[in-house]
Amino acid sequence: MAIVLRINQPINNFEPLSGKTINFPDQGVTITIPDDLGNVDIRILEARWENGMGAQHENFEPRRLLSNFEFLAGEEKLTKFSTAVELILYYTQADLNFAQRDDKLVDFAYWDGNQWIRFSKFQYFSRNSITPLPIWTKYDFVYVGFCAVRIREWPDPPIAVGK
């Protein structure tokens, strides 16, 4: 899976991608599709634990599944993009507490079918936004930070937050 890199960009200079933005507050995900990709839709899939997913892989321990989705052009599934798509993945105070118990930072990973692959291995991971984000207040949780990921390939793997 090719991930477009976002290297060493401080959070206070974070510039979200422009385009069609779709929020999934119950999933903890915002997806932005650049206008030049045309009419691309997103279908949410069931995010469920499968064999091996609950185990620690390469020092990533999942806490909870965040989301699973696929990109569609009409009924055709898209797995590659000519322009990067942006995923903003949000974490809660409980996610932060889980990581800090072991003096670690919150991290996100996707399941490749065999193991968890950390997003932070591939792109800049914003870790210094530890103030409640004024988003989606109708839900029972508050997001306290996020990770921005830009992707060019996506075979619809489940995403988890952990440490």
Residue 75 clears pLDDT 60, i.e. is over it: yes
- At residue 33, the pLDDT reads 95
Residue with tokens 């899976």: 1
Cβ contacts of residue 138 below 8 Å, gap of 6+?
25
What is the pTM (predicted TM-score) of this model?
0.80
For residue 94, what is the enclosing H or E element?
helix 93-100
Domain ranges of the chain: 3-162
Joined together, the tokens standing for residue 160 give 């988890």
Span 116-151, pLDDT tens digits: 888 765 444 444 444 444 444 445 567 777 777 888
Residue 86 clears pLDDT 90, i.e. is over it: no
- At residue 66, the pLDDT reads 87
Span 4-48, pLDDT tens digits: 333 334 445 567 788 999 988 888 888 999 999 999 999 999 888
Q: Is residue 9 classed as helix, strand or coil in its secondary structure?
A: coil
Average pLDDT, the chain: 77
What number is the average pLDDT over the span 53-69? 84
